């Protein structure tokens, strides 16, 4: 799951990054509304954590632009205690939920889980090709009907490939979906994940396209 945090308070941003780091999410963090709008238009995220008071383009205006452009990812607003009016405006503009600062990180995690569950149940059908079945709601994977235990990273990778069966998915796209814009990604990390998936599922299933990326075979 790739989350985008838009928050200009550095201490709070760092705190959220640390808190969510242990949950297996990929978290990208931007500090102004204009950069966030560009990112949301060009990349795909599963959830947006949005502060309302932001430089360059405030959170409410950003949210209105998003919804105007039919970008319908779940949005959780982070707002100040005295901001009742802007909270209501945020919900009216299409936010799915809000949290009042300062908030408890466990509550933040619970709200995120609930929003992701809701959006996945709504938008994502079971993906099934060549004997592999992946259920985004339960996050379970099976191979010819037998459940296969995969790590969160292996799951994300398989999800990316299963969403485009028979098509080459580039290394760049895969590492962005898995790690966001994080700079320090070991160069062989993708290979290790692919190796593990081949071992757990089938060696025939995922084909390497040298120098480009990977393809999930239609028949394996």
Minimal distance, residue 12 CB to Ca ion, in Å: 8
32 near Ca ion, judged by CB under 5 A = no
- Sheet of 2-6: strand order equals 26-30, 2-6, 47-51, 75-80, 97-101
**Total residues binding Ca ion (CB under 5 A):** 3
Per-residue tokens: 198: 């081949």
53 near Ca ion, judged by CB under 5 A = yes
Q: How far apart are CA 220 and CA 33, in angstroms?
A: 45
Span near Ca ion by CB under 5 A; candidates 5-13, 79-87, 93-101, 176-184:
5-13
> Residue 142 belongs to what H/E stretch?
strand 140-143
Minimal distance, residue 17 CB to Ca ion, in Å: 16
Residue nearest to Ca ion (CB): 53
Nearer to Ca ion, 8 or 43 (CB): 8
Minimal distance, residue 107 CB to Ca ion, in Å: 19
Span near Ca ion by CB under 5 A; candidates 51-59, 68-76, 173-181, 193-201:
51-59
Minimal distance, residue 21 CB to Ca ion, in Å: 21
Nearer to Ca ion, 53 or 131 (CB): 53
3-state per-residue secondary structure call for 174-211: HHHHHHCCCCCCCCCHHHHHHHHHHHHCCCCCEEEECC
DSSP string, 69-117: TT----EEEEEETT-HHHHHHHHHTT--EEEEES--HHHHHHHHHHHHH
Q: How far apart are CA 118 and CA 142, in angstroms?
A: 22
Nearer to Ca ion, 75 or 158 (CB): 75
Among 28, 46, 51, 86, binds Ca ion (CB under 5 A): 51
Minimal distance, residue 185 CB to Ca ion, in Å: 29
Minimal distance, residue 52 CB to Ca ion, in Å: 7
Please check whether residue 130 is in contact with residue 218, taking contact to mean a CB–CB distance below 8 angstroms: yes
8 near Ca ion, judged by CB under 5 A = yes
28 near Ca ion, judged by CB under 5 A = no
Please enumerate in sequence order all residues whose Cβ is within 8 A of that of 126, keeping only pairs 6 or more positions apart, or say none.
133, 134, 135, 136, 137
Minimal distance, residue 48 CB to Ca ion, in Å: 15
83 near Ca ion, judged by CB under 5 A = no
Q: Which residues make up the interface to Ca ion (CB under 5 A)? A: 8, 51, 53
């Amino acid at each position: 799951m790739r989350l985008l945090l838009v928050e200009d308070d550095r201490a709070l941003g760092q705190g959220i990054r640390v808190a969510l780091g242990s949950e297996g999410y990929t978290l990208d963090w931007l500090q102004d509304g204009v950069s966030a709008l560009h990112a949301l238009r060009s990349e795909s995220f599963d959830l947006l954590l949005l502060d309302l008071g932001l430089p360059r383009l405030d959170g409410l205006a950003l949210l209105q632009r998003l919804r105007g452009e039919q970008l319908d990812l779940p949005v959780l607003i982070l707002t100040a205690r005295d901001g009742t009016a802007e909270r209501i405006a945020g919900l009216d503009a299409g936010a799915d939920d809000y949290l009042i600062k300062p908030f408890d990180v466990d509550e933040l995690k619970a709200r995120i889980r609930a929003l992701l569950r809701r959006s996945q149940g709504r938008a994502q059908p079971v993906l099934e090709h060549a004997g592999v079945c992946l259920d985004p709601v339960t996050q379970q994977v099976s191979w010819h009907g037998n459940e296969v235990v995969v790590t969160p990273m292996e799951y994300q990778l398989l999800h990316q490939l299963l969403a485009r069966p028979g098509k080459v998915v580039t290394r760049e796209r895969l590492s962005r979906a898995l790690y966001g814009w994080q700079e320090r990604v070991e160069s062989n990390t993708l290979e290790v994940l692919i190796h593990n998936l081949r071992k757990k599922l089938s060696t025939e299933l995922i084909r390497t396209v040298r120098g480009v990326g990977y393809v999930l075979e239609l028949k394996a």
